[in-house]
Amino acid sequence: MTGRIRVAVVFGGRSSEHSISCISAGSVLAALDPQRYDVVAIGITRDGHWVLAPDAAHELRAGGDGLPVVEDSLGSAVALPGDPGVGGLVVLDPGEGPRTLAGVDVVFPLLHGPFGEDGTVQGLLELAGIPYVGSGVLASAVSMDKEFMKLVLVARGLPIGEFVVLREADRAVAADRVRPLGLPVFVKPSRAGSSIGISKVDDLDALDGALAAAWEHDPKALVEAAVDGREIECAVLAGFGGGRPEASLPAEVRVASGFYDFEAKYLDKGTEFDVPAGLEAETTAAVREMAVEVFEAVDAKGLARVDFFLRPDGRLVVNEINTMPGFTPSSMFPRMWAATGLGYPALVDRLLRTAIADGVGLR
């Protein structure tokens, strides 16, 4: 490919992780070299409207929680037709009628959660015939739904913790279903991220309230047995040119009190991170190898962050895989790669080059 690469950075979206997506996009947009990339910033409102956005997405207006939001007033409305013959985005200008932007070479869908990270946008990009960063439809959908993610990992012989799935119809038998897991348990939406809607339950009397909080975000709740262990994370990148995926040096999350919920991740200064983690060489190697195995188990592409518990006896338990992790320079995924020797701009560049090389369709 000669000349500048036209990259569309898509952010915001309809999920509860809207603002986290905006923050990630601001960092990626700032890292793109204008001599190498022609950038189109696309914001998706909470209602699902696509609009042209300024390149400095981090300057978005703050919402009621102080975090950035995408609004209709940001710019002209745009759409991405699921037609490879169009070759790009269409500007829906009421005054002039629809017009097509120049073709887009690659899309970086910095979307977290449902309607973005779950295979929906990936399916649209496949239909449109535009290469994109990250996993395809199946891996995105499986990894977003923690129930099916765990089933796939079990089928591949990978260690996970005990869990049950509960819906509203199970309310009357919820306590009986959960009791065999022991206490405490963690209740969370099955298809959400950033620890939104998650509760720690130490007494079964609190289970109903915790389920209600999870069901606000997803009609399917996951209840997991607590695992005694250190919280370890590892970043994975797809191999370039068909090579095997590569894993970063792992990191450790240490929460001062409570557990690693939304506030601990994004608002609490008491949370500490060891990057890289203080692990024995043998344990580090085991984490990196298992992270690649998890990546391959769900058929992930591009990038992912794999989260583990390291038990006191040295055994690893897979917590989850995140196919589009937070992407600010202070987020764990870029920090782990920086500690491994791959800086932020080079990391973004590698992801875009890998996406273009992979193309779309079966691969």
> What distance in Å separates the CA atoms of residue 352 and residue 107, rounded to the nearest whole number?
8
CB atoms under 10 Å from CB of 358, counted, come to: 20
Catalytic residue among 6, 191, 288, 305: 305
pLDDT above 70 for 96:
no
Same domain, 106 and 171: no
**Does residue 259 lie in a domain region?**
yes
pLDDT tens string 262-295: 454 444 556 899 999 999 999 999 999 999 999 9
Residue 137 lies in a domain: no
Say if residues 51 and 74 touch (Cβ distance below 8 Å). Answer: yes
Query: Domain range holding 267?
Result: 143-159+228-358
Average pLDDT over residues 298-305: 98
Q: Which residue among the candidates 16, 322, 350, 358 is catalytic per the annotation?
A: 322
Looking at the structure, tell me whether residues 66 and 196 fall in a common domain: no
CA torsion sign, 293 to 299 to 305 to 311?
A: negative
- Give the residue from 192, 225, 258 where a domain finishes: 225
Catalytic one of 117, 118, 307, 349: 307
In a shared domain, residues 286 and 339: yes
User: Which candidate in 194, 248, 319, 331 is catalytic?
Assistant: 194
Question: Does residue 187 sit in the same domain as residue 298?
Answer: no
Determine whether 322 is an active site residue: yes
Average pLDDT in the 73-101 region? 83
Dist. CA 296–CA 80, nearest whole Å: 30
Catalytic residue among 15, 17, 21, 43: 17
Domain membership flag for residue 127 = yes
Task: Note if 349 is an active site residue.
Answer: no
pTM: 0.92
Asked if 319 is an active-site residue, the reply is no
What's the pLDDT score for residue 7? 95
Question: Catalytic annotation on 17?
Answer: yes
In this predicted structure, the answer to whether residue 56 has a pLDDT above a threshold of 70 is no
- The answer to whether residue 363 sits within a structural domain is no
Whether 75 and 213 map to the same domain: the answer is: no
The residue among 186, 208, 225 that closes a domain is: 225
Q: Is 326 annotated as catalytic?
A: yes
Catalytic member of 320, 349, 350, 358:
320
Q: Which of 225, 258, 278 is the last residue of a domain?
A: 225
For 317-343, how does the pLDDT look when each residue is reduced to its tens digit (9 = 90+)? 999 999 999 998 889 999 999 999 999
- Same domain, residue pair 18 and 81: yes
Instruction: Please report the pLDDT score of residue 262 as a whole number.
Output: 47
Catalytic residue among 266, 268, 311, 353: 266
Radius of gyration over every alpha carbon of the chain, rounded to an integer in angstroms: 20
Q: What is the CATH number of the domain that holds 292?
A: 3.30.470.20
Is residue 61 assigned to a domain?
yes
- ∠ at Cα 261 (259, 263), nearest 5°? 115
Q: pLDDT category, 58, cuts 50, 70, 90?
A: very low
How many CA atoms, within 13 angstroms, populate the side-chain half-sphere of residue 87? 7
pLDDT in tens, 139-173: 999 999 999 999 999 999 999 999 999 999 999 99
Which has the minimum average pLDDT: 56-60, 211-215, 246-250?
Answer: 56-60
Distance (Å, whole) CA 280 – CA 235: 18
The mean pLDDT value of the chain amounts to 91
Is residue 110 domain-shared with residue 181, that is, in the same domain? Answer: no
For residue 211, CA distances in Å to 147, 237, 262 come to 16, 35, 17
How does residue 258 score in pLDDT terms, banded at 50, 70 and 90? Answer: low
254 within some domain: yes
Band (pLDDT 50/70/90 cuts) for residue 17 is confident
Residue 34: which CATH number?
Answer: 3.40.50.20
Residues 6+ apart with CB under 8 A from 133: 106, 107, 108, 109, 302, 303, 351, 352, 354, 355
How high is the pLDDT of residue 64? Answer: 53
Going from the C-alpha of 177 to that of each of 13, 58, 66, 182, the distances in angstroms are: 34, 44, 39, 11
Which pLDDT score is estimated for 61?
Answer: 62
Instruction: Look up 27 and say whether it is catalytic.
Output: no
256 and 304 fall within a common domain: yes
Both 148 and 277 in a single domain? yes
282/319 same-domain check: yes
Average pLDDT of 19-41? Answer: 92
Q: How many domains does the chain have?
A: 3
Same domain, 289 and 214: no
Q: Are residues 287 and 323 in the same domain?
A: yes
Lowest mean pLDDT among 23-32, 142-151, 249-258: 249-258
Active-site residue among 326, 331, 335, 349? 326
Residue 138 lies in a domain: no
Does position 128 have pLDDT exceeding 60, yes or no?
Answer: yes
d(CA 275, CA 278): 8
